[in-house]
Structure 1
C-alpha cells in the first residue's frame, strides 16, 4: 500500500459553504485562478470565487443551470460547462459577465481544457449512452466547432493537456 502524501491530521475543512451567502451548493470543477483564489461551479448554476485563504465566497456570475467543469485562460476568462443548458459558458474577465460561448452538438459538457497555443477549447461530453461520449473542440475566439474525437468512450469526463501542450 502506498504511503499517503499527507497524514490525516493535516486535513482540514477549507470552507464550509453550506450556510454561506452565496451558498456553495455541490461544488464542481474546482480550479485555481492566477490570483490564488479558488473557483467552482454549483448545482444552481453559480460561478463562485473563494478567497485564497477561505475567508469569503463571492458569486461571479451564473447560468441558472448546473455547472460542472471549469477552466481559465491566461486573460482570466473562465469557461464553464453547463449540464442543464448543454452548453459552455464564458465568464468574461474584462466585463465580469457570464455569456453562452459554445453549444454545437454537445449534450453533457463535462470538463473543458484551454489550449491557447492552438486556439482551441476542448470539452468532454459525458452522455455515456451507448458509448456515444466524445470530445468536442471549439474555437477560442468564436465558439464555433463540434465533435473532434469520435472514438467510443464510456462517460468521457476529466481531461488534461500534456505538459508540452502536444495533446490531450
Structure 2
C-alpha cells in the first residue's frame, strides 16, 4: 500500500460507516450517529482534498468516492425519513435525482460508449448541503429544537441544489451525448 491509495481507503471507510450510522439513527443513539456521520462527512472532504492536492486520483476513486457518498446519504435520508425527521417527498426527490444520474450514465455508456465519470460542480455543493442537512436534523432533533428554522432553510437549500444539479447533469451530459452522436 502506498500513500496514493489513502483517498480510496478513506472512501472505503465511509462505506463501512454506513451501517453503524443507520443502526445508531434507527436505535435513537443520536450522539453516536452524529459522531459517526460527522466523521463520514469529513472523510468525503478529506479524500477529495488528498486525491486532488497530491494527484492521487484514480479510476477506482472516481467510482468508490461517489458510491460511498450515495450509500451514506441515501441510507441516512432513508433512516431520517423512517423516523419522520425529514419529509418523505424530500427523500424521493433526492432519490429521483440519483436515479436520473445513474440511468443517464448507463444509457450514455451503452448507447454511446465509455465516458469518464466527471461530477458537475453543483453536485459537490449538493452533496455538501445534504451532509450539513443530516447533521442539522440530528442536532435539532436531539439537542437544539430551536434549530427548526435552520433545518427548514436547509431542506429548501437541498431542494434547490437537487433540482439545479439534476438539471445541470441533463444539460451537460445531454450536450456531450448530442455532440458525440453528431461526430460519429
TM-score band by shorter chain is under 0.3
- TM-score of the superposed pair, with normalisation by structure 2: 0.25
Greater helix share, structure number:
2
- TM-score of the superposed pair, with normalisation by structure 1: 0.27
